[in-house]
Amino acid sequence: MKLTFEIRSLEEEAASASKLLYVPPSEDFTYRSTRVYHLEFEGTEEQAEDLIRATLLDPITQVLHVGESPALSGHVFHLDYGMKTSALDLEKEAILANWREMAPEGFEARKLLVRTRIYLFPAGDSKPNAEDYLRDIVNPAIHTWEVNHV
């Protein structure tokens, strides 16, 4: 079974996207970032969600969105990026090690992909160019990425 979990901060507001680029854009685009976990597992959806809530979510300052649809709206596109499967991903390995110790009977994480999702929002009628952000955020030697336009 496969599920996608997206965790976003309740406290974080949209910030200036100029800090994401080496050369700031002329427009005042904004962005928000979240963490996305693509999980392939044996067990029930309830077990998977309970494990995510117990280990990755701070219920006071964060909210969990379950499913493939984006957790936020109003963006022009979102960029998902993370470590290549051939690269050492210490965050993923720590999560999986923790889950092996505390997972309920009958649950096993088969595959986990950890991604950062960056939502880019327009400034008036102007829209950000995904290529600018790919160039400055993604390192093709170690990252995989996907841009999803609305």
For 99-149, write each residue's pLDDT tens digit.
Answer: 999 999 999 999 999 999 999 999 999 999 999 999 999 999 999 999 999
What is the reported pTM? 0.95
Residue 46 lies in a domain: yes
Residue 120 lies in a domain: no
Round to whole Å and give the CA distance between 115 and 31. Answer: 16
Collect all residues with Cβ–Cβ distance below 8 Å to 112 and sequence separation of at least 6. Answer: 37, 38, 39, 40, 92, 95, 96
Residue 23 lies in a domain: yes
Kindly report, residue by residue over 83-102, the tens digit of the pLDDT.
999 999 999 999 999 999 99
Residue 28 lies in a domain: yes
Task: Return the bridge partners of 16, or none.
Answer: 30
Total structural domains within the chain: 1
Model pLDDT, residue 26: 87
User: Which domain covers residue 103, as residue numbers?
Assistant: 2-115+133-149
Residue 124 lies in a domain: no
